[in-house]
Structure 1
Amino acid sequence: MTETYTAVLDRIVDGETAVLLLEADGTVIDEHVLAVEELPEEGRHGGAVFDVELENGALRGVTYRPSVTEERQRSAQDRFDRLSRRLSEE
């Protein structure tokens, strides 16, 4: 059975192992550990967003989504900026 998830690169351990957080409906439901070399080179950074295909728990495909990655980073920065402004006003 093949399943497709949105995944976010949480971290790279020792420069060799990548930890992806798998999401369903915007909620983290699991993690998948793989070799960094299995990720597209341009997506080998924290916060990178991918489409991931798993078949019976085995990785079948990884597609980097640069536009989604940029949008999430922009959204996170906007939230941080709004919170910073509110804190400085208090």
Structure 2
Amino acid sequence: MRETHTAVLDRIVDGATAVLLLEDDGTVVDELTIAVEELPDDGRHEGAVFDATVDRDARKLLEATYREEVERDRRESARDRFDRLSERLSDEE
């Protein structure tokens, strides 16, 4: 079955294997392990975000489009959340 997901490169193992977390509406629904070479060159780093089409039955990546802007937005959002949390903790001291 062919499906489209947002995929986040969670980690690269031994420089050769990429672990993608497949998301639907911000929730991780599956994990896919592939060769790093299957990903676009500019997205071969942890935290990279892709639009990914997968064959769920074959557990195979069919297509991946790197989404640099989405990755940047996610990083900024996470940084903002961290900053807000650290401000609250420093206020409690």
TM-score, normalised with respect to structure 1: 0.95
1:38 lines up with 2:35 in the alignment: no
Residue matched to 1:50: 50
Overall identity of the aligned pairs, in %: 66
Work out the CA distance in 1 between the residues paired with 2:47 and 2:23: 13
For residue 80 of structure 2, what is the amino acid of its counterpart?
A: D
> Post-superposition shift, 1:58?
2.1
Match of 1:79 among 71, 81, 87: 81
Aligned to 2:64: 62
1:37 partner SS: helix
Matched residue pairs, number? Answer: 90
What secondary structure sits across from 1:45 in the alignment? coil
Separation in 1 of the partners of 2:35 and 2:53?
15
- Cα offset, 1:18, TM superposition: 0.2
Unaligned runs of at least 5 residues, structure 2: none
Cα-to-partner distance string for 1:44-73 (whole Å, 9 max, x where unaligned): 111110011112332210110000000000
- For structure 1, the residue ranges without an aligned partner over 5 or more in a row are none
Pairwise CA RMSD of aligned residues?
A: 0.9
Which amino acid counterpart does residue 64 of structure 2 have in structure 1? Answer: V
Q: Taking structure 2 as the reference length, what is the TM-score of the superposition? A: 0.92
Out of 46-55 and 6-15, give the one that drifted further: 46-55
